[in-house]
Chains A and B, each alone.
Chain A
Amino acid sequence: MNTALPYRRSLRTLVALGLGAGVLSGCSSDSEPAASGGSGDCSSLEGETITIVVPYEPGGGYDSYTRLVAPYIEEEIGATIAVQNQPGAGGLLALNSLLAEDADGTTLAIMNGVGAGGSSIAGAEGANFSLDDFTYIGRVASDPSLLVTSATGPYQTFEDVVAADEFRWGSTGPGAEDYVTSSLISAVFDIPGEVVTGFPGSGETELAVVQGSIDGMSGNLTSRRGAVEDDTQTPVLVVGEERPDWLPEDVPTVAELETTEEQSELLDAHLALIELGRPFVGPPGMDEAAMSCLRTAMAAAMENPELVTESQEQERELAFLPGDELEGLVQDLMDAPPAYSELLATLY
């Protein structure tokens, strides 16, 4: 919750608005040239324009995160960063075209780990890349999911869900995060039921959960917060590593469930995919100097206290993970048991 901000700060915004309003573009017009570029060698990128492609429409989570972080990286490198929206084919369009971009560090994209990464592992149509093709700069945010049920329905815990005779999930459609996670959990825990597909967006799926015409759904963890605190949706399972402090203690994470070895193998692989989260990625085989510059600059930017406060105010939690660690995660995913990719292949 926002406490009252000083009047002065708002006034500063007004001035910034006046400056930026005419431009109508994402790049800020009043950024100062950076004094130093950190330890990475940024000579090749200094003064250049770096484009970060967002594979979705403006206004969504990926767009907001990118626009939130971009100015701070800009400051570190001394380059101009332009955020460009290139929606299409569930985010695959932009990633496919990233493959062919110059690998000099001037074009990056933010990736949807579960959506795009999952498509690639599943060998789904439309994903013309392998996860290890890209150059990983760093993760902006992790992307855990929360399973919720209707607050007025019969299933108020994950045990209820597992014991259900027929549990109906709601989803936008095959390949979407909500479809993949709920189907995967259903398959792993042998929950009978079906996934009702065709909802135009997570808003409408939520509405159906609140109305009780479906039993539950999977969705982005932080986006569920309002509904959970409003008591219209009951949280039952965190599909991620950590439980945030606004969730009741008795809502388990996947790791806290009792599982057989076979189950945990599948769940671990899926958690790795979720861990991939929302990284900035570049074209394959990026120029060494540019890559180390971008990695260093991003690492420094993500620690900037101003960015940290700003992200907290917006309830957009950051979870930085350096590029080399992301490479490790991708390697784990490439080595995942074949049962996992076979299961995924049925979900895209």
Chain B
Amino acid sequence: MKKHAALRDFSMVIALALIVGFFALNSPQFLGPRNLSMLAIELSITATLALGMLLVILPGQIDLSAGSGVGLLGGIASVLVFYHGWPAPLAMAASLVLGIAVWLAMGTVVVRERMPSFIITLGGLLVFKGLFWLVINNRTVPVTAGAGANLYSLLTTYYLPKPLGYALALAVAAGWGWISFYDRRERIANGLEAEDGEMTFLKAFVAAQFILLFAVVTNQFRGIPLPFVILGVVAAAVTALTEHTPFGRHLYAIGGNEEAAVVSGIAVERTVITAFAIMGAIVAITGFMQTAYAGASTTTVGDLMELDAVAACVIGGTSLKGGRGSAFGVLFGALIMATLLNGMTLLAVAPEFKYIARGAVLALAVWMDVRLSR
């Protein structure tokens, strides 16, 4: 089984390498600093939503309304800023609170009324889409009231100053290394199996290389994009939640065997509702980034993003039955999806083929998962 797991991880790396190789050969700009910076922003948006989706899928639920929610919550903030003259931070805060409240309500209905989340959120998908179009009145609503920038528009147009970018990259690389060695020491101290010290060093070294390389490349354009920092924070938070808190353990236990979770004294209802509430916050944050990236709220913002998020989870090794999946895997899955979309846009692939390619990749990934996890 261990061999299979390794093969599985490996196959995803190969898939990514093939995708990157293909685009690099067919488009010279693909690996350029400008495009990689754009890719970083797109990845940040996709991956943030996918990390929220992970929290909902782990206990065996699903959220199909996330894409419509991205449009709606981004749109509400836009309308508050553009038509009502609210300051951007206040508008976003209001939209964020609304997101948490609505998802909390959906989660409550799912667990209290025993409605399948598939149906509740499918309803949400349609209802939110309709509300979204009502809110923006089928028009294009900019994220700024005047010509100047505000916090909302800066979400995807702000880049860290170059020295700060380098400093941050160094700090993260150092932190990463320290954590891996700390973790290894802990494992040995607890008598658990630990990998070879050289292996730990090699992994931390390669990770540090990638982090620094990323800073060098993005600094050749405008610097590390702000959305990437937001993703970093969300990813760290989701990792901490899933791996280091009782809440996270309970998510896995509920997804793995709900009846046993109940008998083990886990407050199943509260845990699932909390996961939905966190999803609401993440949908709002993704909504702000996606709307800002589009420059304005328009009727198509958020379209099909829920499926990209589910695809990223599944490609990253998350089981749709619940109980299995990790933040790291989801980041990797999101990278594959974002790279694919970015590359196809760069090659000016027609939308019809974009849809087909996205669908095919998802089906292929699930098929491989089923084959290799047997």
Q: Do A and B bind each other?
A: no
